[in-house]
Amino acid sequence: MSRRLALYAGGLALFLLGAFPLIWMLSTALKPSGEIFATPPTLVPKVVTLENFQRLFSETNFLTYFMNSVVVSLATVGLTLSVSALGAYGLTRFSFAGRERVAGLILMTYMFAPIMIIIPFYILVKQLGIVNTRLALVLSYTTFCLPFCLWLLRSFFQSIPLELEEAALVDGATLRRAVWHVVLPLALPGIIAAGIFTFILAWNDFLFALVLITSDELKTLPVGVNDMFNATIVDWGLIMAAGVMITVPTIAFFAAVQRYLIQGWGAGGVKG
Amino acid sequence: MKRHALAGWLLLAPSLLLLGGLVLFPIGYNFWLSLFDKHAFMPVQRFVGLQNYVYFARDPEFWSSVRYGLIYAGVTLVLQLLLGVAAALLLNEGFRGRNLLRGVVLFPYMLPTIVAVTLWKWLLNDSYGLVNYVLVAWHAVATPVPWLGKDYIMASLVMASVWQFFPFVVVTYLARLQTIPPELYEAAKVDGAGAWRRFRHVTLPQTRNVLFVIVLLRSIFMFTKFDTVWLMAGEGGVSRYVRTLPVYAYARSFTYLQAGMGAALAVLMFLLLLVGTAVYFYVLRDDEAVA
């Protein structure tokens, strides 16, 4: 009995640790400005208002930042997913000398810290004349999203027995048909999971966007919101509303693919 | 059926081209860059050999950034390890709501850093923060603690970072815990081992490998962490009390616009990591579990 009690007490503590700060963020975002600074603070707002969200959309460039984040993250997903699906298929379905070494090299490229990459990356992008463009940002996200996807998809493809594909081929299917009708449906959950994690990685990035983007109309959410924070008087209601808006897509996507996470994680996948 | 090696390489070609051009080439260029006196965006550059490195060897700010980096990485590593392993052990037990909790625990890790940090700055706000309110109301402190002032900024940064990154330890450790054969625990129980001894003699030896990897990865990630540290302390004011090596490298490159110097700092960080990793492997070389 006491053991069960301890388990639930621990579970509750862990729940509060993980979720309470987020609940507090939501609560602050829904309060009118007077109540935000009230003593004692209220957990459930006495007056629930969407005023902060409304101001976020009407008085700031939040919507622009949001759209930029969506465009850049989706472009990153499109690029890395298509390239890495081909690559991972090549890595698992064809044997050639040096294959394992290539796989190791890919993992190694993933271990370089972003701060090591951004300095030369900025100089090179500057010389190419594409600094302050979405293209530069998407390419910079490829530096960490591509190795991540390759590694994750490689482990997914490895778990699909080669025999299934061979059986289809023996039955007279072309390799293209075998891949399309046998491998792809089986790999689809993995591909979707990789796509969503890539989206989250790109969506959350701060450093590359901070360095590569200078004009306000191209800024993505993290940098845009940080600018709001640096205003002389910090508008907590507004900032917490922005926090809620940035978090919603992440949490929603994450909830959708949570069960694949452990698999990807086990495969050596996540950096940060 | 024949699968040609050439086809494998062709499928890999786009990946390798992108990784070569976007990661390996820039990293190589970074080493080259560190030998120049180079402005971050003016086209002037002057070859100076190892002069940047000589400068940093005598630069007190460099040494203090190494020290802050070691403190930050070391303390956050220990705390996230303790918290993460404890949480994983809990989540490995059977109880109602466990699956939901496994998801909730990951939230902090999935949040954008900007959200995690602003959230903690709000919770730790001197005058209106919830933390100070609770501490004062419960008479734990007489006056509000200046969490974001110079004396407490490192503690606050550590707190926010541990919160943000302990889920990584939870998931990784939990994944391994789930593969331990239950028979081992049953046998230990039959032998009369209590909970602590079962952890000590079954769980710990079984999870040595994964702990080895977790410690390695988390140390590297924390030592090279930029965004959490930079966002927490900003660029002026208290930032010098938490200026770790990656933040210093950023400041040299993009605030002082000395890209050559910044590149040299990035190389130094890389070398420190290389040495650290080599020592780590060397110290644990006799550990048969690791091999």
Test A261 with B101 for CB contact under 8 angstroms: no
Any residues with CB less than 8 A from the CB of B2 and at least 6 apart, and which? none
Test A240 with B128 for CB contact under 8 angstroms: no
Per-residue b/e over B85-119, b at no fewer than 16 CB within 10 Å?
bbbbbbbbeeeeeeeebbbbbbbbbbbbbbbbbbb
CB distance A65 to A221 below 8 Å: yes
Test B111 with A204 for CB contact under 8 angstroms: yes
Residue B97 with chain A: CB contacts under 8 Å: 11
Test B12 with A109 for CB contact under 8 angstroms: no
Average pLDDT over residues B264-276: 96
A117, A123, A154: best mutation site toward chain B, by most B Cβ within 10 Å?
A123
What distance in Å separates the CA atoms of residue B110 and residue B106, rounded to the nearest whole number? 6
Tell me the nearest-neighbour CA distance from B110 into chain A, angstroms. Answer: 7
CB distance B88 to A11 below 8 Å: no
- Of A11, A18, A113, nearest to B107 by CB-CB distance is A18
Mean pLDDT, rounded, of chain B: 92
Per-residue pLDDT at A176: 83
Among A214, A213, A218, A209, smallest CA distance to A141 is for: A209
What distance in Å separates the CA atoms of residue B69 and residue B247, rounded to the nearest whole number? 9
Test A41 with B133 for CB contact under 8 angstroms: yes
Tell me the nearest-neighbour CA distance from A48 into chain B, angstroms. Answer: 19
Please identify among residues 73-112 of chain B the ones whose CB lies closer than 8 Å to any CB of chain A.
Answer: 87, 90-91, 93, 95, 97-98, 101-112
What distance in Å separates the CA atoms of residue B72 and residue B225, rounded to the nearest whole number? 10
Q: How confident is the model at residue B129 (pLDDT cuts 50, 70, 90)?
A: very high
What distance in Å separates the CA atoms of residue A104 and residue A99, rounded to the nearest whole number? 9
Assess whether pLDDT exceeds 80 at residue B113: yes
Taking only the tens place, the pLDDT of each residue in B68-111 is 999 999 999 999 999 999 999 999 998 888 888 988 998 999 89
Per-residue pLDDT at B1: 45
Average pLDDT over residues B255-274: 96
* Tokens describing residue B154: 């490192």
* Tokens describing residue B110: 């999935």
ipTM of the complex: 0.91
Test B254 with A211 for CB contact under 8 angstroms: yes
Per-residue pLDDT at A183: 82
Percent of chain A with pLDDT over 90: 58
- Of A14, A250, A271, nearest to B87 by CB-CB distance is A14
Q: How far is CA B85 from the centre of its chain?
A: 16
Taking only the tens place, the pLDDT of each residue in A4-23 is 899 999 999 999 999 999 99
DSSP character for B36? E
Per-residue pLDDT at A209: 97
C-alpha distances out from residue B239 to A184, A220, B60, B236, Å = 50, 24, 16, 6
Residue A122 with chain B: CB contacts under 8 Å: 40, 253-254, 259
Q: Does B10 touch chain A (CB under 8 A)?
A: yes
Helix, strand and coil percent figures for chain B, each rounded to 5? 70, 5, 25
B3, B4, B11: best mutation site toward chain A, by most A Cβ within 10 Å?
B11
Any residues with CB less than 8 A from the CB of B40 and at least 6 apart, and which? A122, A123, B253, B254, B257, B258, B259, B262
Assess whether pLDDT exceeds 60 at residue B2: no
Assess whether pLDDT exceeds 90 at residue A116: yes
What distance in Å separates the CA atoms of residue A239 and residue B115, rounded to the nearest whole number? 9
What is the pTM assigned to this prediction? 0.92
Average pLDDT over residues A144-165: 88
What distance in Å separates the CA atoms of residue A105 and residue A91, rounded to the nearest whole number? 12
Mean pLDDT, rounded, of chain A: 89
Among B223, B56, B38, smallest CA distance to B29 is for: B38
Per-residue pLDDT at B215: 95
Q: How confident is the model at residue A267 (pLDDT cuts 50, 70, 90)?
A: very low
Residue A18 with chain B: CB contacts under 8 Å: 101, 104-108, 167
- Of B1, B4, B26, nearest to A120 by CB-CB distance is B26
Per-residue pLDDT at A4: 87
Tell me the nearest-neighbour CA distance from A71 into chain B, angstroms. Answer: 17
Q: Does B119 touch chain A (CB under 8 A)?
A: yes
Residue A247 with chain B: CB contacts under 8 Å: 111-112, 115
C-alpha distances out from residue A181 to A152, A191, B58, B167, Å = 21, 15, 64, 37
Assess whether pLDDT exceeds 90 at residue A177: no
Per-residue pLDDT at A185: 82
Long-range residue pairs from B225-229, CB within 8 A, at least 24 positions apart, any chain: B225/B72, B225/B73, B225/B161, B226/A113, B226/A114, B226/A115, B226/A207, B226/B250, B227/A206, B227/A207, B227/B113, B227/B114, B227/B117, B228/B113, B228/B116, B228/B117, B228/B157, B228/B160, B228/B161, B228/B164, B229/B72, B229/B157, B229/B161
